[in-house]
Amino acid sequence: MLVELQEQHSEVNVIYVDIYEIMVSILTHPSSLGFTKTNVACCGAGGKYNYRPQVFCGDYERGSRPRKEPGKYVFWDEWHISQVASKQIAKRMIPKILKALTCAPS
């Protein structure tokens, strides 16, 4: 698929970075990055995983509030990774992207 995309758009440089691999690394070694909560949402409505499917993050009337120390959580809510986890992914992606970049004169 990437080869086809590159062939269709030869004027651009298509770069693929495997963020699944990066995420597995974060979840496998969370404490080395300062995370203490890997399977609990920072913002949720309680329960084992701080998650109730019918209550979205920030629904204060239904008890959904962010927890203290959001930087300790890999997941912000049931759908999204936290800002700190996003930064860790970006830190690992950027060198791979820069290494793959090629600039040719037009």
Asked if pLDDT for residue 104 goes beyond 70, the answer is: no
Going by pLDDT thresholds of 50, 70 and 90, the confidence category of residue 60 is: confident
Task: Kindly state whether residue 65 falls inside one of the protein's structural domains.
Answer: yes
Global model pTM greater than 0.75: yes
Residues of the domain holding 81: 2-100
Q: How far apart are CA 14 and CA 6, in angstroms?
A: 6
The first and second tokens of residue 15, run together, are 């770069």
Q: Are 70 and 82 a contacting pair, CB within 8 Å?
A: yes
Q: How far apart are CA 87 and CA 80, in angstroms?
A: 13
34-56 pLDDT, tens per residue? 999 999 999 988 888 888 888 88
Asked if pLDDT for residue 86 goes beyond 90, the answer is: yes
Bridge partner residues of 41 (DSSP): 75
Sequence-distant (6+) residues with CB within 8 A of 89 are 19, 22, 23, 26, 81
Instruction: Specify the number of domains making up the chain.
Output: 1
- The mean pLDDT of 87-95, rounded to a whole number, is 96
Task: Kindly state whether residue 36 falls inside one of the protein's structural domains.
Answer: yes
